[in-house]
Structure 1
């Protein structure tokens, strides 16, 4: 139980540090796209970047839009969403919000599963 409490405190501290860094960066007139690019240049994975946007209280739709604006392929986005255990019903609104069609989603799903 104590470990869980320490982990929760540690996560909250990391989230606060991330939030302060984000506010400072936004104050310097950096865009979400520039921040996404910097995180990826620093060696973070697409999954890490998606999770960072969620930790900054962005919606999954906005986190996905930030990745797509960077140039993430449909296959890469699909993998990021699947790694969060999303099913097609959960993916569809996110997928559509970034301008991709249901047929693209089904095609990628079949391609990556097969």
Structure 2
């Protein structure tokens, strides 16, 4: 029980540090795209970057849009969403929000699963 409490506090502290860093960065007029690029240059994975945007209270749609603006391929985006245990019904609104078609989603799903 104690460990869980410490883990929760640790996560909250990390989230606060991330939030303060983000506020400082946008205060310097950096865009979300530039921040995404910097995180990826620093060696973070697409999954890590997606999760960081979520921790910064961005919606999954906005987090995905930030990745696509960076140049993430449809296959890479599909994998990021699948790694969050999203099914097609949950992916579809995100997919459409970033400007990709349902046929692209179905094609990628078939290609990557089969």
- Compute the TM-score of the two structures, normalised by the length of structure 1: 1.00
Q: Unaligned stretches of 5+ in structure 1?
A: none
Aligned counterparts of 2:104 and 2:64: Cα–Cα separation in 1 = 15
Aligned Cα root-mean-square deviation (Å) = 0.2
Aligned counterparts of 1:48 and 1:70: Cα–Cα separation in 2 = 14
Over 3 Å off, 4+ runs: none
Aligned counterparts of 1:101 and 1:41: Cα–Cα separation in 2 = 29
Q: SS state of the match for residue 20, structure 2?
A: helix
Aligned counterparts of 2:111 and 2:100: Cα–Cα separation in 1 = 16
Per-residue Cα deviation, 1:19-75 (whole angstroms, up to 9, x for no partner): 000000000000000000000000000000000000000000000000000000000
- 1:5: how far off? 0.1
- Compute the TM-score of the two structures, normalised by the length of structure 2: 1.00
- 1:16: how far off? 0.0
Q: Unaligned stretches of 5+ in structure 2?
A: none
Aligned residues: 114
